[in-house]
Structure 1
């Protein structure tokens, strides 16, 4: 049953001035109370949205204060080289794994050809006549 008190996630996002994905993440994490209607569509009560908005804005303000405090203690220039180094490390590890895989494939191929060559070397010479 769709009443003006029950909104879709898109309508709730528009009312909350946020994205639909933010609303869906809040529903999934159970921060925002919602239910499914007879058509299996998410519905959000106006009261639940208002409660989530008040809690969400308080949480955002608290997070913003923590971020400002963290930025005062550590400059962005201090964090940037660490992030770049971490990305470079991840890239090098992935490259190393690819090289290990390639090496294992090449060694297996080499062993296969060595085995075939050994079998050919062990074969007795054939006579050219069949009688």
Structure 2
């Protein structure tokens, strides 16, 4: 058993070292690292800043979207669970969602124009 493990370990080391040797780049060229626009020089910066407010709204949307997907199994387990426990867990979960929404609202993260 240890022989097989050592053979696998040696093969893994050989593959990792070969991948490291093959993937090395010989030089960094300014033209190759610049953004590509059909062979022309870029007219403006390729790294344009975007609104941090848009980023915060997107993150809040993702968080609440994931939390909503956590509610779906509650609906599926309605038939096989105790009603008192089910409503207690569902109410607590929705209360946490509403508390998070209220907190974001009071912090001003949902106000688009200031």
Same fold at TM > 0.5: no
Report the TM-score when normalising by structure 2. Answer: 0.37
- Judging by fraction of residues, say which structure has more strand: 1
- Judging by fraction of residues, say which structure has more helix: 1
* Higher RCO by CA contacts (8 Å cutoff, separation 6 or greater): 2
